[in-house]
Amino acid sequence: MGVSGSTRTSVEVLLAEDVPSLGIHGDIVRVKPGYARNYLLPQGLATVATEHNKRMVERHRKQLDALQVDRLKQIRAMASEVSKYSVTLEANANNESQLYGSIGAADISKALQTAGYQIKADQIQLEGPLRELGMYTIKIELHPEVNTEVKVWIVPTSAA
């Protein structure tokens, strides 16, 4: 393999998994030969960084980068659509516009999903539950790099 009997002070290995304080999957790192021979290689955490392995990882990384770029484009397109959409939720309220209960992130998420937007409750950035009738602008974090807002109208339940 090129590691056993090595007299060099370090060898290059390709990480097959994330290794704390060393690197993440796909990284090429230099380590002591004994560390590679006795721990990383037998545990399946790394392989010897041959030219073929380096080329394969680079090709795989380019594919992942392309997928990530496409995914970000889709997320940005959805953010643009969501920002033009407004959610209307009916709630029971008293004469002072105070709700009997409250509207939370799960309620807003459910309304957005019903409208075809796959937004989870944990992506909705509420300061706290909404307890009054009115219009709110709610922040949504779709991705660490993509934020948007949605208008939420809370209206009184219409009498049947």
Question: CB-based contacts of 132: which residues, under 8 Å, 6+ apart?
Answer: 93, 97, 98, 99, 154
Q: What are the helix (H) ranges across 6-150?
A: 33-35, 51-84, 105-114
Task: Output the tens digit of pLDDT for each of the chain's 160 residues.
Answer: 455 544 568 888 988 888 888 988 888 899 999 999 999 999 999 988 888 888 888 888 899 889 999 999 999 999 999 999 999 999 999 989 999 999 999 999 999 999 999 999 999 999 989 999 999 999 999 998 899 999 999 999 875 4
Q: Where are the domains of the chain?
A: 11-70, 84-156
Residue 77 has what pLDDT? 93
Farthest-apart Cα atoms in the chain, separation:
85
Rounded CA gap, 70 and 59, in Å? 17
Residue 5 has what pLDDT? 47
Residue 3 has what pLDDT? 53
CA distances from residue 64 to 20, 23, 60, 69 in whole angstroms, order as listed = 22, 18, 6, 9
Q: Which CATH number fits domain 84-156: 3.40.50.300, 3.10.430.100, 3.30.300.30, 2.60.40.420?
A: 3.10.430.100
Rounded CA gap, 124 and 139, in Å? 6
**Domain 11-70 in this protein, CATH class:** alpha beta
Phi, psi of 156 (to 5 degrees): -70, 145
